[in-house]
Structure formats: structure tokens, C-alpha cells
Structure 1
Amino acid sequence: MRSFGRRVPPWSAALAAYLLLAFLLFLPVWLPPGLRTVGGGGGDPFFSSWFIRWFPHAISHGWNPLFTTYLDYPDGVNLMWNGSIALPSVLLAPVTLTAGPMVAYNLLATLGPALSGWCAYLAISRYARNRLAAFFGGALYAFSPFMISQSLGHAHLTMAWAPPLALLLLDELFVRRRRSLWIGVALGALAATQLLTAEEVLAIVAVAAAVGLIVAGLLHRQAVWSRLQPALPALGLAAVVFLVVAAVPLGVQFFGPQRVHGPLQPSNYYVSDLLSFLLPTHAQMIAPAAVTRISDHLAGFGEQTAYLGLPLIALLALAIRRTWHLPVIRWAAIAGGALALLSLGDTLHVARADTHLPLPWALTSAIPLLHEILPVRFSLVVFLMVGLLVAVFVGETMVTAGWRPRLVGALAVGLSVAALFPAVPFLTSPLGAPGFFSRPSALHALSEGSVILVAPFAVVGTANAMYWQAEAGMWFRMPEGEAFVPSPYPLYPPPSATEFALVRLADGSVPLAAIDAGVASQIRDDLRRWHVQAIVVGPMPHRDQAVSLLSAVLGRAPSSGDGVDVWWDVPKTLAQIDPSSRSRPATTVVATGTVTPPSAW
């Protein structure tokens, strides 16, 4: 057993441990696989599973995978503006094509924290006194509130291996003064792969690297400036490698069709509230209901990522106080504090109230694209600094301190782990595409690439149709989708009568009785403009009303089976509708699904 232990490299043991912890955290989605998804279904997980399925489909057909008309047909979607996960989609293609897109997504969600934590372990090992301390620091990063919260819907953001690996490479370049041009190649390749995995993480890394270099320059002015010039060749090569690899994706994003202009998200909304650092959320095991009623609304929907907790804050204070003499502690403490300050956004928020006190991030408002970073997501690199600080302190305490300081340190570490421990069992959601999509024999009666209108209409927060499309092997296109496109409303397609009617019927904001014949006529115009071949209504709220509306629009009832209602031969039906009917008295669809004159109201 001892000889076996000696033969196992520490880095491989650490990787295995992180993978095991991640697997245990997400265990419900693997018992058995394919029946549940990590996080809440219906929105971002479904979009990610759609992207994972789209990429191999596009490549197999020889299409540009970074642009699609399979959503928001006919205009399409520029996927580089929509959280492109191109690289994971390629790597996961064998899983996607054999086990399905949602199994591949769950694998992505499981691997993200584990691989990110392992990369943090590799970086922190440079500074911590022993491997156990480095492992704990990596675990703080891997299973931080940022990672746990983003796993609920943005699994690609947990593939955050670039921050620790960038720290490792920049340490090689500036601290250890390695002059190998391979460092430049590695930096450029790292940036390009992160671009194709989670573009926002790359932007966060760029800002964090700038902050780190500024802090290092302030602490060691002569040393940094004397080392900057020799490092320029490697940095220049990194830029060249990045541009060579990223030229096409960035070209599609900024010069391709359907590029987005203007802000993607509301300004100064997704920020860390001052209380966010102190109050646990539903993502933590220890989270009293009285507290979560406040904390769950502090940082914008789904972005409760900044929580540190009083035990960890006390541990950080203890670590900084006792090991301030170490240069890495001074650097990490100041850089981490600066990044936490950036996470607060343009102005300070306390208990969700905007104090209008200006903060440094407001200076980026004039910098194109940079201000698109959601400030609260700087908590990603804050937790990397936290992991580094704690690991160095734990390593120093284990080696140099007496039993009392060790006991105090162990108690602080234990309380910190308890405060941050994620809520288990982890939130998962059941899956289940109607048989019409999961066993698409009937669907294949249409030629591949035909346009189908699917209800519930896919918009922000309701991407069921996108998941069903992915389950059907991308057999058809849709005039809808949860995606950023040139539109007055984020994550909505350009306004249409069809979207207005179906979305508001589903959310109950407009009753069926309020939708008149004028809207029905506009829906028919939409169907013609979109070249819709068939209409499918699947499981959705107020399904009966959606079926009644579309039956009135087409003047006939659907065929039903395999969990859906279907209207085939839509172009033929539209051609049979008498155009002179527009001059006749208007009709209104009532809740029973019949069509009656307005005078009946």
C-alpha cells in the first residue's frame, strides 16, 4: 500500500479527489443519467444543452457553427454573443451523440468545478507549504458560492481554469523569470480556449491580471518594472497566438450577421451587495429562512455568488495578520480586496438600496465591451485569492506554529467550511421531452431543416422548445429562441404577434378572450413570413388556450399524440384561407376554443 501511495503523483490524487467530490455533489443527476438536469430546468440549462447539440450538428453539415438559423428563423442568431461554449461542445460530442445533450450538459456541470479546483491546486501549490493546504485552497475555489450558484444554470462559467492557470504562467514569467517563449504560447492558447468556453471569464481574467500586475508594481516597483521588459517577447507571442486562434470567432462576433449592439444586461444591477459577503443564500446548507428572504434578492436574479461568511472573513483576517510578512500574502490580500471592490459595481448597494456612492467599476462605463462584465462575477477571482490566502496560512501554521495556533486555525477552517458547505441534495430538475421529439419518427415526415413553430414559445426563462429541438437531433428550425439578437428586448426575438400571444397566454398575463381576430390575422402573416411548415404545442401552462388560439388561427383542430398537438401542412392551410375574410366582421377566440363574433361579448 505504501509503495502504491508513493507511485501516485500528488496532482493525480488531487484530481481524483476533486472529481469524486463533484460527482457526489451532483449525484442525483447520475442515478440514473439522463432523467434530471443540474439546476433548474426551463432556461439556461436548456440553452446550454441546445448549444452542445448544435455544434456537432453544424460541423457534420459543414456549416459555420458560430451562427445559426435554427433559432429565430429566418434572421438567425450570432452565437458568439450568447455564451458560446464551442470548445466543450466539440469535446463532449461523443457523449452528446450517444447519450444525449442533457447528459453531456450534466457532465459539463460536474467536470467544471472539479477541473477548475484542480487547476487552482496546481497554482496554489507554488506558494503553500504542503499539498494538503494547497488542496484545501483549491477546494475553496472549486466549491465556492460562485461555483455552486453558477452550476444552477451557467455550467460553462464553472469551467474557470483560466484564472489559476494564468496565475501560474504569470508567476513563471514575472516571479521565476523564465524566459521561454513557450510561456507565451501557453498564455495565448489559454486565452483562446477560455474564449471558446466562457468569454466572460476571459474578460474577468484580463481585468484581474491587470489588477494583479498593478498591485505587484505598487508593492515591488523596481522589481516589476525591471522584469517587464524581458517579459515583453513572451507577452507579444501570447497576443499573436491568441489572435491566430481567435480571429475567426471574434470576426463572427464583431463583423458577422446578427451582431448585437448596446448593453446586453441592465447596468449596475448584477452587483455584489455589501450584505452579500455576510448573508448565506439557498445555495448553502446553513441558511436560515429569515436570512435567505433577504440574501436571495441582493445581487440580481441567480447571481448570489459573493458570500464569504463571518467565519471565513475572520479566518482571512487571522491569516493576513499572522503571515503579512510573506510577499504573496500581501499581494493576494490587496489584489483580492481590489477585486471584491470591483464586484460591488458602479455604486455601493446596501440591503439592495443604491447609495449612489460611486465606485471604481464606474470608470469602465466608457470602455467598449468591458462594461458588459457582470460585476458580481468578479467573485470568481476573489475566491481564487481567498483560496490562496487560506492555503498559505494553513501551510505555514502546520509547519511552524505550536499546538494552540494550530487548534485556533483548525477551528477557524472548520467553521468556514461549515458556513460555505453547499446545500445538499443539490437542486436538480426532472427532464422529459414529449415522445414526438425524443422518438421523432413522425417528425421525420417533414424534410430536415423545415420550420416548426413550437409552443411554449422560446424566450428568456422558457427554453423548453430549444431542449426539445436538441433532443430531436436538430431536425427542424424554429422562429423563436432564448438568445441575444438585435431586438428591443434582451433574450427575446424581434417582436411579433405570435410571440405576444403565446408568451402572454402561457404566463397568464393576457386571457384568451382578449386576443381578437386582428391578432389572429397577424399570426397568420407571421407564419407565412417564417415559412412555417408545422405547429406543435407541447406541455405548457394554459395549454388548452394555446391550442384553442392556434385552432382558430388555422381554422381547424390539431392531431394529437406523443404528448403534443400538431398542425401539419400549415402552408396549404394558409393558402386555403379566403383572403376576403379580412373584410368580414372580426371574430374573437373564446376560452372554449370556438370562434364567435365580437358582439357575443
Structure 2
Amino acid sequence: MLDVTGPGETRRPRHARDEPDTPEIGIAPVRTRRAWRPYLLLAGLYLVASLALQHRALGSFSSVLIGRVTADADMFAWWLNWLPWAVGNGQNPLVSDYIHYPLGVNALWNTSVPLLAALLSPVTLTAGATAAYNTGIVLGPVVSGLALACALRPYVRSAGLRGWTARGLAGALYAFSPFHLAHAVAGHLNLVWSVLPPVLLLLAHHLFARPVARPWRAGAVTGLVLVAQLVLYTQALAIGVIFLVVTAVVLALRWPRRVRPALPGLTRAAVSCIGVFAVVGAYPLWLILAGPVRPRSAIRNVDATGADLANIVVPTRMTAVGPAPGGLADELTGHIGEQGGYVGIAMLALVVVAVLVVRSSALRIAAAVGAIAWVCSLGTGVVLLGEYPGVPLPWEAVTVVPLLSEIEPVRIQVVVALCVAAVVALWIDRLPEVAPRGWVRTAALVLSGFALVSWLPGDTQEVQPATVPALFADPGDAFRPGDVAEIHPRLTAAWDDGAQGSRWQVASGMAFKTAGGYFIASDAESSLVIESPWNRYQVGAQWVADGKNDPSERYTAQAAGDLRRLGVTVVAVAPDDGEPPDPRVLDWTRRVTGDTGRLTGDVWLFRPAAAGPSG
């Protein structure tokens, strides 16, 4: 992905361009006072496009959640709220016992996005966590696309309109790629902010394009960038570092004679990077490696987290143009949020033609890294339209490496999207050289048009209502300081409103803690916990709601003991799907708590009787 000159390549004279082709790190290119205006224009265009895609949320940013489901959206909104609330109330922003009480959760083992929480805190504090989440979903592609447009500056030769067109189109392709569209509809805030890959692309130019200038500073900057990603999303950090190394290996294989002269500078840069990363990121790293309630076993089955082989040519409904037969996308493995690997026949054809006819080492390196990333994204074995033919793949070797085994290979598709966008930028940049006129130029433009159109987003983004019972929206003095609430309906990881209790907790101003939640943690009995285990109060509530059992007095006493063990001081029985609480659940709660309860707004509150021996 580096604009190094290979054998037979030529560079245009410096005077033919307004900017140097490969600026040294630390040597600022000549800029005019108005150099920032094109970036501002690109940001505005990307923002308009992002708002258009999410038009269903406009006007109701505080009352709907962008995405097809609410669980992940509610979880992200909770964490966006936690950091500013914790800082303002003297709590640790990276550890919390406000969910999974009394054990709590470790933010670095959850998708807590603390960096985004800090950046979006003005929105959170003024308009609420739901609005902050929606703002993040809208802005993520904008910032990611703009980052790529900036990162391509050393690689795109052309000045003026052609250069800006090449970089701007590449930024748009990346920002609204099938990868980002899929993760937006799944509510994956951490993945629509894919800023690290473009930043690493720019850093790779400074680290690898020529002997490293000021290696200590280059390494320190890289270390700071990695720390920033560490407190945004750790899995993306691991993927970024892996493919920075892959890029270096590809370059070394392509130009082996340049390796030895480059080693001293790269070694200094690596030492500086690791040192800065270890010092600045010491506390987050400790939380990952030895922090409290971290999971003690694998979070997921890595063999089931690869991309479907067919997805490269089979689009989902996220893409406006769908050449595949109707219904074929329904056979892809995984859910819609992990089906963002579409490249398409037209775009693949453009990449192949560009590799064959454009004399650019940067373009060919980008294509090679993209191809490696695509193979890695398939995971440990081939999956074709949901079927597993049993063909092993190279990623299986990564699964034996601690921590790296937690990577979901399907999410490496972001590197594929980046490389495709970079190839398109370099193709547009070199187009006058490879197709100067006539039918060749016409054919090249037609192919480019088909490829660009094939990535047009469909108008298929969704929103879900983010309802909050009146009590939680305005709790008044309903909750006491230090309250721990058991909420019914139970907090779970279910996609459809499973984590709505966390939304209610945020809306209450964090007026209580809860033993439930949707998170990644562990406890004494389980090495991995994704949601709090069922207690006997919850089991009994499910029994009576289903009309299956009338719990015995002994079981009732045991349920009361479970609530005491968890430190529960109040039970809140809230409406379910807009329906009033089930009378049978209310009666069961009265038996367990020994309290007749009181209706406060639209929620019943019960205070358990004083602690006594459990049955």
C-alpha cells in the first residue's frame, strides 16, 4: 500500500504537481491558506449522504435507535452515558458495578468505546445517550471516509480537481461500503468508526516508503494512534496491527534488497511505538490482561465467525444494485450485520484491470493486501451459502495465539473495503495515463461507472423505538441512594429489547444499580457470562407468566434469598411491549418480597422485607 517506485516506474516532475509525491514525515508540504476547504467540502458531502441514509431517525434522535435491533444499540448507549456520568460522580470510567452487581464489569472486555464516549459526551449530557448513539452512527462513516481521503494524499499523484475526485470518491466508497452499511444496521457503533485502517495506511507510508525519517517520533505517533484505538475497540486494534505487519511482509517480499537498509530506522520506530503504547496504555492493558471480572475462557467459537465465501459476489439488501438471484442473500451464513463483504463482479473486474494495466506499485500492493485480507476474513474454514464443505483456511493458525484468537475474522472485511477504495483512487488518478483517449478511455470510464454504481447504498437502514416507562424518565424520589434494582422484564442479550432495562437505567439518571445487564464478564461459577444468570425470582416470574407452575413456599423463600444474596433493595415490574405488568407476576413479586408494592407512574415498585435466612 506504499507509493514506492518499482522497476520501470517513473515519477512526474515535481514542478508538474502542487504537492510532493512522497513527503517525508516531519516535513510539511507546501499548503495554501485555503487547503482545508476541500476537506470541509468532503466532510459536508459525506455528512449529507450519511444523514440521507439515516433519514428515518431525523427528528426523533432521542426516541429511536438506529439499527434493526436494540440490544447492541442499548448497550452502546449505556457505555456512552457511563463515562461522562462516572467522571462527574467520582467513579472509575473503565470499571463499573452498575450492571452485573455486585461483581461489575470490565470496560476493556466490553465494547465500551470510551474514546467515543468522551468525544460524544457533549451530546450525551445535553440530549441523552440515545441521541449520542445515533449521532455516533451518523458521524462514524463521515469521519472514516474523511480519514481515508486524507490518508491517500501521499499516494495520489494528481493535483487539483482530478486528485480530489480520486481521493473523495475513495473516501465515499469506504465510508458507505457494504461493510459499514451492514454494521450500521446491526447497531455496531464501534465498527462504523473504522478510522484506524486509513490512519495506518498513512503511517505505513511514513514508516515503509523510504528510510524512516525521525524514527523515534514516527514510532511515538504510531504508539499514540494504537492507544487511541485501544480505548475505542480492541478487536479492530488487533486487526490493524496484523495487517500493518502483513503490509511490511508484502513489501519485503517485493523488494528484498531494501529490507536491510530500512531495518535500523524501523527498529527504532518499533521500540518507540511499543514504549509509548505500553506507558500511555498501561492501565487499559492491565484491565485486559489482569483486570477484574475479565472472561476466563474464549468469548466465541472462532470457527463460526468467518465470512461466507459467496458474500464477495452476493449482495444483501444493504446495497441498491443486486445482480444476484433473489433470495440468494438469505442463504449467506451469519446475520445481516456480518454480511458486509460484498465487492461485486464489476468492482472485482475494475480491480483486476487496474492491477494489470496501471504501473503503480502502491496499487498492486493495495490489491495484494486486500486479497490476503479477504482470505483471512473467511475464517478457519470455507463456508459457502451457509454450508461447510470442510476446507481449512490459514486463519486457523491464528486461533492458537492468546487474545488474537478472540478476533472475529469476518470483521477483517474492513481491510478489504479499504484496499478496494485505495485501488479505485489510484485507478482514477492514473486513468489519463492508461486510457488517454478513444475507445479505450470510453471502456475504462464505463467499467468505472459500473463499479461505482455497484456499491451504491440501498435505502434500507432501520430504526427501532427507544421507549422508556414514565417512572424511569422522571423517577423523582422513587429510588433511594445505593438502590440495587431487580427489573422485570429481565435484562438479557436478546436482540429485540433484551437490554431495554439498561436504557431505563440510563434514563433514570443512573438512580440505581442492577444485577442484570448485557455484557462480557465472568463470575465464580462461570468463566464467561454474557448476561446475568437466572435467579429463582426470575425463573418463578417466567413460570407464572407462562401459566406453567405455582411455585412452592420453599421455592418462594429461596427466590427471596437469591434477591438478598444479590443485594437487591427494590424490584421494578415494568410494562412489557407497552402492555401493563402481568397480574400473575405482580402477585409472585409480592410473595417473594413480602411487600404489597406501589404503582409509581406505570411501574410497580416492591421493597423486599428485611434479610432473613433463605429457604
Q: CA deviation at 1:421?
A: 2.2
Change beyond 3 A, Cα 1:371–1:260: same
Counterpart for residue 430 of structure 2: 396
Task: State how far apart, in whole Å, the 1-side matches of 2:179 and 2:41 are.
Answer: 24
Corresponding residue for 1:60?
A: 88
Deviation readout 1:23-56 (Å, 9 max, x if unpaired): 2222322324312221134300100000011111
Matched, 1:372 2:406: yes
Give the SS at the match of 2:503: helix
Q: Any idea what SS the aligned residue of 2:519 has?
A: coil
Aligned residue number for residue 450 of structure 1: 483
1:258 aligns with 2:293: yes
One-letter amino acid matched to 1:472: S
- Give per-residue Cα distances to partners, 1:243-272, cap 9 Å, x unaligned: 111100111222221111111112211211
- Who is 2:133 aligned against? 105
1:174-185 mapped onto 2 (5 Å cutoff): 174-180=208-214, 181-185=216-220
Q: Structure 1 565/406 Cα, relative in aligned 2: closer, same or farther at 3 Å?
A: farther
Return the match for 2:338 from 275, 282, 303.
Answer: 303
For 1:592, the equivalent position in structure 2 comes to: none
| 8 Å CA contact 1:282, 1:292 repeated in 2 | no
Matches within 5 A, 1:241-390: 241-287=276-322, 291-292=326-327, 294-295=329-330, 297-300=332-335, 302-323=337-358, 325-390=359-424
CA spacing shift, 1:394–1:540, aligned 2, 3 Å: same
**How many equivalent residue pairs?**
566
Q: Secondary structure at the match of 1:302?
A: helix
**TM superposition shift of 1:69:** 0.7
Change (3 A) 1:406 1:535: farther
Mapped to 1, the partners of 2:201 and 2:146 lie a distance apart of 14
Letter aligned with residue 604 of structure 2: D
For the 8 Å contact 1:53–1:473, the answer to whether it is kept is no
CA positional deviation for 1:490: 4.5
Contact persistence 1:53–1:474 (CA under 8 A): no
| Distance in 2 between residues matched to 1:353 and 1:425, nearest whole Å | 27
Matched letter for residue 184 of structure 2: S
1:33-44 aligned at under 5 Å gives the runs 33-44=61-72
Q: Shift of the alpha carbon at 1:6?
A: 6.2
Relative distance call for 1:216 and 1:515 in structure 2 (3 A) is farther
Pairs within 5 Å for 1:116-265: 116-128=144-156, 129=158, 130-152=163-185, 153-180=187-214, 181-265=216-300
In structure 2, the partner of 1:599 is none
Q: Kindly state the Cα deviation for residue 363 of structure 1 after the two structures are TM-superposed.
A: 0.3
**2:302/2:399 contact within 8 Å kept:** no
Supply the distance in 2 between the matched residues of 1:150 and 1:450 (Cα, whole angstroms). Answer: 36
One-letter amino acid matched to 2:140: G
Cα distance in 2, alignment partners of residues 406 and 532 from structure 1: 72
Question: Is the Cα–Cα contact under 8 Å of residues 84 and 199 in structure 1 kept in the other structure?
Answer: no
The match for 1:564 is 603
Q: Point out the more displaced range, 7-16 or 193-202.
A: 7-16
Aligned-partner Cα distance in 2 for 1:526–1:176: 65
Quote the offset at 1:166 in angstroms. Answer: 1.0
Equivalent residue, structure 2, for 1:550: 589
In structure 2, C-alpha distance between the alignment counterparts of 1:271 and 1:528, rounded to whole Å: 43
CA distance in 1, matches of 2:555, 2:327: 43
Q: 1:362 to 1:438 in 2, by over 3 A?
A: same
CA shift, 1:118, in A, is 0.7
Identity between Structure 1 and Structure 2 (%): 29
Q: Residue 7 and residue 158 in structure 1: after superposition, are their counterparts in 2 closer, same or farther (change >3 A)?
A: closer
Give the number of the structure whose residues are more often helix, by fraction.
1
Alpha carbons 2:144, 2:194 under 8 Å: kept: yes
Offset of residue 346 of structure 1: 0.6
Deviation, 1:564, is 2.0
Alpha-carbon distance in structure 1 between the residues aligned to 2:556 and 2:180? 46
For residues 441-520 of structure 1, what are the structure 2 equivalents within 5 Å? 441=476, 444-461=477-494, 462-486=498-522, 487=526, 490-501=529-540, 511-514=546-549, 516-517=551-552, 519-520=555-556
Q: Distance in 2 between matches of 1:290 and 1:528?
A: 57
Q: Any gaps of 5 or more consecutive residues in structure 1?
A: 583-601
The 2-side partners of 1:331 and 1:275 are apart by 24
CA contact (8 A) 1:28 1:425 kept: no
How far does the alpha carbon of each residue in 1:494-528 deviate from its partner, in whole angstroms, 9 at most, with x for none?
Answer: 443345455x569xxx8232362254333211111
User: Could you tell me whether the CA contact under 8 Å between 1:52 and 1:92 is conserved in 2?
Assistant: yes
**How far apart, in 2, do the equivalents of 1:413 and 1:157 lie?**
28
- Per the alignment, residue 119 of structure 2 pairs with 91
- Cα root mean square deviation, aligned: 2.5
Q: Is the 8 A contact 2:71 2:499 kept in 1?
A: yes
Q: 2:315–2:342: 8 Å Cα contact kept in structure 1?
A: yes
Mapped partners of 2:233, 2:74: distance in 1 = 17
- How many Å separate the matches in 1 of 2:550 and 2:425? 62
Instruction: Tell me whether 458-467 or 20-29 shows the greater mean CA deviation.
Output: 20-29
Corresponding position of 1:597:
none
Unaligned runs of 5+ in 2: 1-31
Partner of 1:439: 474
Distance 1:286 1:497, change over 3 A: farther
Deviations 1:289-325 (A, max 9, x none): 96446446413563111111222222222222222x3
Distance 1:294 1:549 in 2: 46
Structure 2 distance, partners of 1:123, 1:7, is 15
User: How many Å apart are 1:425 and its aligned residue?
Assistant: 5.0
Read off the aligned partner of 2:70 and give its amino acid letter. G
* 1:429 counterpart SS class: strand
Give the superposition deviation at 1:170.
1.8
Q: TM-score, normalised by structure 2?
A: 0.86
